[in-house]
Amino acid sequence: MNPSNSLPFRFKPLTAAWAALHPNPKGVIFFIGGAFFGTFPTVCYRYLLRNLFNQGYTIVAFPFRFSFRHWSVAVSLARCKTEIRQELILEAKRSGFK
């Protein structure tokens, strides 16, 4: 059994996404769901995201934003990535992670 399975898998709100912080992450996965199911990624993709978390990854899930201007949505997600990194660091420190 993977020791990560006993870790609490909870999403916390960030500015533009939801994050499940792993206390000792191998990396960070930025997850963007597709239309319909992607509107609620923390619910609809929970099984997948929990398994990735249990493998040792911090998960950042972005809700799907419906638009016919896909390029502008992609650019806005890329721009907020830096801000989200800073929020992850602050949240990890608040949670007592190293």
pTM higher than 0.85: no
Low-confidence residues in the chain, pLDDT < 50 = 1
* pLDDT tens-digit map of 39-66: 667 777 889 999 999 999 999 988 766 6
Secondary structure of residue 20 in the 3-state scheme: strand
Residue 30 in tokens: 């930025």
Report the distance separating Cα 96 and Cα 98, nearest Å: 7
Query: What pLDDT sits at residue 1?
Result: 43
User: Could you state, in order of their start, the residue ranges of all structural domains in the chain?
Assistant: 7-94
Which residue has 């638009």 as its token pair? 67
